[in-house]
Every structure is written in C-alpha cells, then in structure tokens.
Structure 1
Amino acid sequence: MVPIDIPAGSGRRLAALYHPPSGAERGRGVLILNPLGQEAVRAHRLLRVLADRLARMGVHVLRFDFHGCGDSSGDDLDGEMKGWQLDALAAHQCLRQKAGTDAIGWLGIRLGFAVGWQAALRFGGHDGAPDTGALTGEATVPESQATGGQTTDRPVSGAGRSPRSRDTRLDMLTEGAPPDRLIGWDPVVQGQAYLDTLWQDHQAALRLAFSLPTVPDAQLKRQQAEADLSEAMGFALSPRLVRHIRRLDRQDWSTLPVQHVAALQANGALPWPEDRRPAGLTLVPVDVDFDWTSEEALNTPLVPDAALKRLLPWLSEGEFHG
C-alpha cells in the first residue's frame, strides 16, 4: 500500500492509497468511490480488506478521499457532488497511469455510486447531475470552477459550451477509455429518501450522545427546519451538497453510463425504484445486515463475507459475468 497525493485542479489535493498487485497481474484496475461522512468511517475496514484481497488477486486498486473528506484538501462544507465527479475522474487518470491499462472498474459505495454514475457520463461530454439549468434548458458552469476560492453553479447562456480552459481540463480528465464497469453496494438513487434516512440516524445518534430516551423533539425539529440537515452524525453538510442529493430524484437513470453496471442490495437498503431501473442493470440482493452509520459493528459484521464473495469476481475478472 503506497500513499500518494493526486492534484485535482483549483488547489484540490486528493489523499489516496494505491495497492499494487501482489499476485500474478491481471491487467485490471479498480477505483473505489467512498460513501459520505460516517458511512465512510464505517466502510473503512471493509474497503481496506477488499483492496488487499484484490491486490493479492493481481488487481491494481486505488482508494482516495474526495475533496472536503478524510485527509484530502478542504473541509466538510466544501463537499459537493459536481466537484466530486471531477475528483473521481482525476483519480481514474492516476490509476490509469499507475496500472498502465484502460481496463478499470469503479466500485461506488452508497452515495459514491451516484457520484460514479454522474462522473462516468462525463466521458460522453455530459454533465451527469440534473440541475435547475438542465431542467430549464440553461447550461451551468461546473461547480468545480474556482472563483476567488469559491465554487459556482451559475447558469450561462448560449449553447451551453464551457470556456476552452474548462473543455481542455475535462478532455484531460476523460483521456483514454471510460471505466468498463460500475459496481455499487447499496447505491443511493433516491435523494430525499436518503436525506430522510440520514436525518433519522442523526436524531438517533443525538439521543444516544445525550444518554436520554428522547432529546427534546422540538429542538430536533427546529434544527431540521432551520438548518435543513446541515449535519449528519458529526459531519457538516453544505447546502449545495444537500441540493445535489435531492436532485438524484430527477436523475436520468434510464441509460447505463458504462458497459456493465451491477449493484448489491443488502437487507434494509433503500430500493432502486422499479420505474426508474434501467434495462441492463444487474441488481443482486445479498443477505447481509449492515448498518452504514453505526459507530460500532454491534451485531453486524465489520467485513461481510457474503458481499465480498459477490464483489471480488465482478471487480477482478476480465470478462464481466453478472
């Protein structure tokens, strides 16, 4: 495991860990896209184990923290999904150079899957996230554009073409082939339902922290109304990130962004709505109880073997078999 630093533009630096193959090399790579906040903390151990197993199978693996997360640049309030799309592309290019191959699959955990879906669309020149501009026919400037240290998603007029400097940067980030597969685990495709889940878990964490059967509900309701879910289990959420998550309810999931898309759905996971499920998606239920936001494993495994047994062949084999 080798620590590396990935420059991602606009002063962004992504902290990453590269796992080179320790077995007979397969000529494949896997990029891991983390979940959000406390879910990333909970997933850390299982992703480390998964990366080590893939490396022993001869696969190049890269794990990294998005901007505003973990050990990367920025703080919690800098996190937003459009910038994370470009972070994913920068990490993809880093892994592509390290592995010397275009045969790269992405593994997106929870919200990381949605980021991966949107980022993969960028290889076709599309802005992967729906927004007000997209719904009204206006184009928007990518939120990764730095303006005096701030990001912006202001609409622009005309045909929606970004200035040449941003086109050039996106061309660099999408050089080579796109990922050949996007694999998810409990993918988040319902925006408001996911925010509701985060809020419920946040309430439960507060009650536990106060060691009371109930924290004053009026206080919790006031916080939800005034702050609009500005915090989830100790991690601040920017208003922009909350808006981006809500927009997943308007995301076009009808066309697969890459050749193969598959996902595991554990017990109790938010379902992928039947009317929004694309043809060609491989969605496999797995009998695993996994609490993504718990600070303790409690009665759930830290590293669910049933899930790993499904993920390993999807990520390591040259030919994809759903």
Structure 2
Amino acid sequence: MASTGQAAEAFFLETESGSRFCLHHPPHSSAEPVGAVIYVHPFAEEMNKSRRMAAMQSRALAKQGYAVLQMDLFGCGDSAGDFADARWDSWKDDLHRAQHWLMMRSEAPISLWGLRLGALLALDFARDARSEIDNIVLWQPVFNGAQYLNQFFRLLLANDMITGAEQKGGGTQDIRQMLLAGQSVEIAGYEIAPELAAAIDKLDAAAWEAPASSLHWLESTGQANAALSPARKKIADAWEQKGARLSVGMVSGPAFWTTQDNMVAPEWISATGAIFQGP
C-alpha cells in the first residue's frame, strides 16, 4: 500500500517584525528528504489566485521525497504586517529565514520555486543567499520589474473602471508620479509604498550574471509546439551566453494566477515533478 505521508504542519515563525505564517510539507518517506524547496509566492492578488495550485504542487513534491516550505511573506496572506509596509529587502530577509529554518532540520540541498514576481524575487535572493541554492524553478517568471509594475497598474486600473471604483490618478504615469512624490498608492485594496515600487522598478534579471544554480523556466502556452516569444527568447539566449545552466519548458493549461477561481492546472505539476525527479 502506498504511503499517505505526513500531514502538512502549519505554524507561525516568530521574527523581530512579527510572525510569518508557514506551511511545511514533510517528505512522505520516513527517510531524510532528498531535497528541500522554498515556495516564493507571487505579488498581491496573484498570490490568492494561486493558493490551490501552490498547495497541490507542494503535496506532489512531498510525495517525491522533498520537504517543501510555503511562507507568507511580510504583509502578505496570514503573516504579520500590512502590505503597505512591505519592502523588497524585507521579503528577501523572509526567504533567508525560510532557508535557515530548513537548514536547521536537514542537510538536504535547498531549491527555490517562484511564481511570477516571486520568480524574480527568487532570482534576486539567490544572488545573495547565504548558502548554495541547488535548483531555481521559475513559473511564468517576471524578469523586468518596471514592465511588471506597468502591467499591474494597467490591469488594476482597468478593473477599477469596470467596477466603478474610484481611481487614483488617470493612468500609469499619474500613479508613478504619485509614487515619485513619496505617496503610497492604493489600487484594488493593495497599498503600494513608494519604497517597494522603487525597488521593483530597478530589477532586471536579464542583465544579471547567471546564477550557479540550475535554472528551470516553465512558460505558459495555449497551443501545441509553441516556442518562447522573441522577447523572452532573447532573455534565455542572454542567460545561456553568460553560462547559465538553463532549461526551458512550455506548459499548456490555464494561466491560473489570473483567473477568478482557484483553478487547477495539472500540466504545471507534472512538468515540475519531472524537473525534481531528475534525469
């Protein structure tokens, strides 16, 4: 009979800036984990829309013998703090805490798995991680922070127009001017501090040195035999020229981080399981 494994452990990790909600999925085998994985969740509402998929993928990896740690970053989900007080560096500090927590429990190699802006955070964290990161799995990664913020502002402004909600300013440039003036901007219930926006704006992973970790980039596609767009392929080519150990996989299925319901996209789980199963 197949093992049903251990139940996930929910707990609060105490820090000097309040508690962080964590969910630890121990490996289903009784032996030491073959590896440990830190999930780096996406930004704002994309985090909530992805919760079901994150939980399903975490359980699937636990069945493969991995310990998986999901952490709500500062100001997000059930962790302490307000989103308005969130800062990019504080999120990186949270990942250091997650890394330390796992290292205290096992000597297994630690990998990162990031979704959307969480993928960019994972890449940035890996640049100053206090120990080697084994694999970095990127689900539909964001590579340029400024471009992402522009898209985020446009999508939420469009939603405000549909719902009739009061808008802050007339467009993305007005929002940026408010942020540059030191004002926080609230859109669709998320108050974004100027410091957070400024930090994200400066991020451009395509220009960074290739990390020593193995990179596994999974890209969403709606059709068979699809390839990376020219702009995305340019990033992949630039990384490979810098010596990155990069694999790119195309994944069909819904873009679950954008849907109203918490959708299931098993193709992502299968593709990620194959990565962690190894050659």
TM-score, length-scaled by structure 1:
0.71
Give yes or no for contact 2:143–2:203 (8 Å, CA) kept in 1.
yes
| % identical equivalent positions | 21
Post-superposition Cα deviations, 1:259-311, rounded to whole Å, max 9, x if no partner, equal 201111113899536157311322222223305244336xxxx1211111111
State whether residues 143 and 205 of structure 2, in contact with CA within 8 Å, keep that contact through their aligned partners in structure 1.
Answer: no
| C-alpha distance 89-222 of structure 1, shift in aligned 2 (>3 A) | closer
Q: Which residue of 2 aligns with 1:278?
A: 239
Amino acid in the other structure paired with 1:287: S
Cα distance in 2 between the residues matched to 1:83 and 1:217:
26
**Are residue 111 (structure 1) and residue 117 (structure 2) matched?**
yes
The secondary structure found in structure 1 opposite 2:36 is strand
Q: Return closer, same or farther for 1:7/1:307 CA change in 2, 3 Å cut-off.
A: same
**Contact 2:220/2:252 (8 A) holds in 1:** yes
Aligned residues of 1:31 and 1:107 also touching (Cα < 8 A): yes
Q: Residues 221 and 185 (structure 1 numbering): CA distance in 2 closer, same or farther, change over 3 Å?
A: closer
**Matches for 1:189-268 after TM superposition, within 5 Å:** 189-210=143-164, 219-220=170-171, 224=175, 226-228=177-179, 230-249=185-204, 252-256=207-211, 258-267=212-221
Match of 2:10 among 3, 6, 9: 3
Aligned counterpart in structure 2 of residue 185 of structure 1, from 116, 139, 144: 139
Partners of 1:221 and 1:46 in 2: how far apart?
A: 30
Matched with 2:3 is none
Distance 1:209 1:93 in 2: 43
Unaligned runs of 5+ in 2: 1-7, 223-227
Q: Distance in 2 between matches of 1:27 and 1:116?
A: 21
Deviation string, structure 1 residues 205-251 (Cα, Å, up to 9, x no partner): 2133229xxx8897456863553482343222111111111111377
Q: Which residue of 2 aligns with 1:132?
A: none
TM-score, structure 2 normalization: 0.81
Say what the alpha-carbon RMSD is for the aligned residues. Answer: 2.8
| Equivalenced residues, count | 256
Separation (CA, whole Å) in 2 of partners of 1:221 and 1:114: 22
Query: Does the Cα contact within 8 Å between 1:266 and 1:285 map onto a contact in 2?
Result: yes
Provide structure 1 residue ranges, at least 5 long, that are not aligned to the other structure: 124-173
- Structure 2: distance between partners of 1:233 and 1:217: 10
Structure 1 285/232 Cα, relative in aligned 2: closer, same or farther at 3 Å?
A: farther
Q: Which one-letter code corresponds to 2:50 in the other structure?
A: A
